[in-house]
Amino acid sequence: MDPKPMTDTVIHTQLAVIGSGMAGMAAAIFARNRGITTVQVGRTSEMSFASGCLDLFSTLPGHPPRVFADPFEGIAALVKARPKHPYAHVTQDQIRNGFQEFTRFMAQAGICFHGPDRDVNQQMITPAGTLKPTWQVPAAMIAGARAVAENQRIGLVDIQGLKGFGARQMAQTLKTKLPGITGATIAFPGRETAGDLMYERLAWDLETPAVMDRFIQRLRPHADPVEVLGLPAVLSLYRFEAQRRVLEQALGRPVFEIPTLSPSVTGMRMKEAFLGKPGGTGHHHFPVAVSGITRDRDGFGFLVTRGQEPVEIRARYLILATGRFLGQGLGVTADRITERLFNLPVTQPSGRAGWLCRDFFDPEGHPVNRAGIETDGFFRPLDAAGSVFDSRMYAAGSILAHQDWKREKSGSGIAIASAFRTVSHLTSS
Amino acid sequence: METQALIIGGGTTGTGIARDLALRGISCILIDKKDINAGASGANHGLLHSGARYILKDSETAVECRQESLLLKRLAPHCMEDTGGLFVALPEDDDTYIARFPELCRTCGIDCQPVDAAQALHMEPCLAPDVKAVFAVRDAVVDPFSLSLDNAADAQANGTRILRNARVEGFISHKGRIQAARIRDTRTGDTFQIEACQYINATGAWADKVAAMAGAHISMLYSKGSLLITQSRINTRVINRLRPAADADILVPGGTVSIIGTTSLEIDNLDDIRPTMDEVDTIIQQGAVMVPALATTRYIRAYAGVRPLVKNGGDAGRAVSRNYTLKDHESEGLENFVTITGGKLTTYRLMAEKTADIVARRLNNRHPCRTADLPLPSSSKGAWTEPGKAPRSRAARAQSPGPSSGNTLICECEMVSESMVDRIVDSLKAEGRPPALTEVGQRSRIGKGPCQGTFCSFRLAAYLYRTGDLSGDQGLSQIREFVNERWKGLMPLVRDRELVRMELQESFLCGLFNMDADGWTPNP
């Protein structure tokens, strides 16, 4: 007996990916490459916070934290210390293959990632004047990572009125690690007296060659004494590589971008590459939140809207990549952490009093951040009895329990590796 | 350093004493181990009591509150919002007390008008619909930061020196006379001495410890009170629960927010004063009985202060008098040391006057107190602490044409601009010390909006590097300090929405900026 369709428009698909953050994106890419018909839902706003680099792993939280130069060595120690960590369910080869497939897709869409020469994390300069270990760095930022590795004379330049990015602050803070670094401020051509500058305006202005020429003239005195120049990411969302080459040629030295505090342009570019045309995954994508997903013997069903029109989605398999609190994969009901779509059991501290550390920066990490859903070795969520909840359902990314991606610097890595494992498994079944 | 009077403690009382003495022509140095209003003066309701709350247990305080609140409304109107207040009784509240309330108010001379329940609901739609008795009183709201900063500014204008981050470590005495105080600069670790003729202990909850250094004894009880700030303003007037004082029975509006509190929890350690999750839950639960919206509204932050209560017998907690304690310590053989503690924000001026009287007499200064008749001048220092004030003034300025340079917003939630920060930094530097992020935060609304410092702490640091007021790598530790100060107020509130905010903040600070692990070198 067929269930009565809820609307006129029904899309039958093999896979539904719930979530459009890093894990949902990765899952959609892997599904596309395997010819799996896919419908993806979820808002993509969280990508505006992504750094644009792909982290794998660097830090094992604790007192003191253990920082690993080699992420795979770190993962081995991590899995030993936390045997239920998501990385315990994937092999080194699966991680490498996942990254390779993901970055190959991104390269076709216009963002070229550079991995390290050896298995050693690269160091990215952040707007806080810190160094952040990461694995894959986009071309827009690679000259910065190389300059740090080779201890070159780096010049940082900020723009008057563009907030959350202070070249002097960054240079002075980094000086102990990079003695040759300097910082300076320029006024943006044509916007010398403006109060608050918005990124979009600047990127748009720089599309005009005359503005670009004056921008270059103002950068030149700060570029001349240094080997490499770092700027806030203000180049176009789409033509950023061509624009950067113009800068590099005119200034005669490598130029790199650093993501601003918010929005993070380098993260937005990844989102555009993923959704954009040409490129993109070619899947149906509905940028809406879903609720009320039903399950029956044929799979999963739910409603989305396209414009005003309701569309029913029927999917054989489902990947839950709804994220944590920000992504609304997890929530709180009566002081217990709950999973929002299927009410899956959530592993968590015994009470609210045990969620948090008194020191925000406690190197152990807040226990609430390791709360999440339990899965089997193929990332299939478990029910309260510890059995697979539904053999056609998987979970990927930060909703998984036993990880603390912010402290481990493992967000992209967990997203990509779990999505890769998940899609590989459902393809084989 | 030498001075006639050394005032220890930069709260409302200490700054009030500094102004009072300075107006009598007495040279003063005011020191605080942290900053102006870093203790209970900066962690209270900001309520200018009509006195009605104390009519039952403490009629003397009630009368003083009535007199002083009327005086302050006249002399420092720029620090006030004359909202008026209501006392409201709910079905479970004691009818005997309700019946006695107007008479007790009358005895203390406190203006108290009965209000029809339906009329009260019209005046304050947030009230529980089942209020059974309501009285209107003359409560008002005071911004304790602007009050203390303006007192400090007027004291400085009259020759007072102010030193932040200066902690007393001991006194050098000879035959009952203190000759010098040993001070440590808590930022640099340096020590130095201040020689004064008179030493004034206005250290609030720390009064017993400072007195002990001078060889004097005070028996104190530390009563922690916690409060919650709502994201938006819920009420127009101050709303008091009409019952003998208990937890969470006052809701005070202030600018664009409302503040509900307090609790009264006896503690024995002053080292780490912060609100707990239990207190937060109690406040919300109790407060919602009177104002149901408190159960569902969004809270920005919790905070806690310690009431410095002086024990005069076996009473505990709320039973201990809210009246102030002024000790000249002469019976203990000390001739140039005085302690003022306890009391209320509302009566700070009176406390300062009584203390200054003793000090002036000892210094043979015959000038009378001027603070009861001279208006408190408004200073630019205290101008930017009130919620909602900066956006209003910005909107007013936007009406007039002019260059927008300097108007770049550092704090977007509370609309604090670079030019406001300039003025705050200038006033901090005029005190001879470089500005710290937390100090700029204390003097403005930076970090007090919904983002709780995630973005603005970085913007502020970046700006201060640009102006040359920060250097080296001190910015990072100052941002950590700033964030942890805000975290203290957010942590006990964390539930659904706060976890979202926290996740965003931690994604930036730890996930993106690596501030948790930066500085740790990789394993070999």
Q: Taking a contact as any Cβ pair under 8 Å apart, which residues of chain B between 210 and 269 contact chain A?
A: none
Element (H, E) at B259: strand B257-261
- Say whether both A295 and A216 belong to one domain: no
Q: What is the pLDDT of residues A354-405, one digit of tens each?
A: 999 999 999 999 999 999 999 999 999 999 999 999 999 999 999 999 999 9
Substitution target from A406, A408, A410, A414 for chain B, most B beta carbons within 10 A: A406
Predicted local confidence at residue A277, as pLDDT: 56
User: Domain containing A53: what range?
Assistant: 9-106+276-428
Predicted local confidence at residue B122, as pLDDT: 97
- Say whether both A63 and A127 belong to one domain: no
Q: What is the pLDDT of residues A137-182, one digit of tens each?
A: 999 999 999 999 999 999 999 998 888 788 999 999 999 999 999 9
Q: Name the most confidently modeled range: B96-100, B388-392, B432-436, B501-505.
A: B96-100
- Name residue, tokens 């690269």: A122
Residue A4 domain-assigned (yes or no): no
Q: Which residues face A18 on adjacent strands?
A: A41, A320
- Say whether both A134 and A253 belong to one domain: yes
Question: Among the three residues A243, A264, A285, which one is the final residue of a domain in this structure?
Answer: A264
Question: Among the three residues A264, A285, A300, which one is the final residue of a domain in this structure?
Answer: A264
- Dig out the tokens for B372 from the structure: 């009861």
- Say whether both A217 and A312 belong to one domain: no
Q: What is the pLDDT of residues A298-344, one digit of tens each?
A: 999 999 988 888 999 999 999 999 999 999 999 999 999 999 999 99
- Say whether both A240 and A125 belong to one domain: yes
Give the model's confidence band at B403: pLDDT under 50 very low, under 70 low, under 90 confident, else very high.
very low
- Say whether both A196 and A255 belong to one domain: yes
User: Is the CB of residue B523 less than 8 Å away from at least one CB of chain A?
Assistant: yes
- Say whether both A142 and A42 belong to one domain: no
Measured between CB atoms, which of B404, B409, B496 is closest to A194? Answer: B404
Residue A238 domain-assigned (yes or no): yes
Predicted local confidence at residue B409, as pLDDT: 83
- Say whether both A83 and A122 belong to one domain: no
Q: What is the pLDDT of residues B203-237, one digit of tens each?
A: 999 999 999 999 999 999 999 999 999 989 999 99
Predicted local confidence at residue B315, as pLDDT: 53
User: Is the CB of residue B500 less than 8 Å away from at least one CB of chain A?
Assistant: yes
The CATH number of the domain where A400 resides is what? Answer: 3.50.50.60
| 8 Å CB contact of B476 and A129 | yes
Residue A172 domain-assigned (yes or no): yes
Q: Of A286 and A229, which is predicted with more confidence?
A: A229
- Cα–Cα distances (Å) from A106 to A20, A113, A141, B236, in that order, read 16, 8, 15, 55
- C-alpha span between A335 and B102 (Å, rounded): 42
Residue A2 domain-assigned (yes or no): no
Residue A271 domain-assigned (yes or no): no
Element (H, E) at B191: strand B191-201
Predicted local confidence at residue A50, as pLDDT: 84
- Determine the distance in angstroms separating the CA of B416 from the nearest CA of chain A, rounded to an integer: 12
Share of chain B above pLDDT 90, in %: 70
Asked if pLDDT for residue B130 goes beyond 90, the answer is yes
Q: Of B522 and B161, which is predicted with more confidence?
A: B161
- Say whether both A25 and A150 belong to one domain: no
Report whether B438 contacts B488 (CB < 8 A). no
Share of chain B above pLDDT 70, in %: 93
- C-alpha span between A190 and A205 (Å, rounded): 9
pTM for the model stands at 0.88
Chain B residues with CB inside 8 Å of A262's CB? 455, 508
Mean pLDDT, range B84-97, rounded to an integer: 96
Q: Taking a contact as any Cβ pair under 8 Å apart, which residues of chain A between 204 and 243 contact chain B?
A: none
Predicted local confidence at residue B401, as pLDDT: 43
Give the model's confidence band at B444: pLDDT under 50 very low, under 70 low, under 90 confident, else very high.
confident
- Say whether both A190 and A128 belong to one domain: yes
Predicted local confidence at residue A279, as pLDDT: 54
In chain A, the number of structural domains is: 2
Asked if pLDDT for residue A194 goes beyond 80, the answer is no
Buried b (16+ CB within 10 A) or exposed e, B344-363: bbbbbbbbbbbbbbbbbebb
Give the model's confidence band at B473: pLDDT under 50 very low, under 70 low, under 90 confident, else very high.
confident
Substitution target from A361, A369, A370, A414 for chain B, most B beta carbons within 10 A: A361
Residue A1 domain-assigned (yes or no): no
Mean pLDDT, range A190-195, rounded to an integer: 83
- Dig out the tokens for A24 from the structure: 């949902």
Asked if pLDDT for residue B383 goes beyond 70, the answer is no
Residue A3 domain-assigned (yes or no): no
Residue A91 domain-assigned (yes or no): yes
- Say whether both A304 and A324 belong to one domain: yes
- Determine the distance in angstroms separating the CA of B444 from the nearest CA of chain A, rounded to an integer: 19
Q: Name the most confidently modeled range: A156-165, A204-213, A255-264.
A: A204-213
Q: What is the complex's ipTM, to 2 decimals?
A: 0.95
- C-alpha span between B126 and B119 (Å, rounded): 13
**A to B CB pairs, distance under 8 Å:** 175
- Say whether both A305 and A347 belong to one domain: yes
The residue count of chain A comes to 429
Question: Among the three residues A264, A293, A326, which one is the final residue of a domain in this structure?
Answer: A264
Asked if pLDDT for residue A263 goes beyond 80, the answer is no
The CATH number of the domain where A124 resides is what? Answer: 3.40.50.1860
Chain A residues with CB inside 8 Å of B492's CB? none
Task: Of B40-54, B255-269, B385-399, give the lowest mean pLDDT range.
Answer: B385-399
- Average pLDDT over chain A, rounded to an integer: 93
- Average pLDDT over chain B, rounded to an integer: 90
Task: Of A230-234, A378-382, B388-392, give the lowest mean pLDDT range.
Answer: B388-392
Predicted local confidence at residue B404, as pLDDT: 47
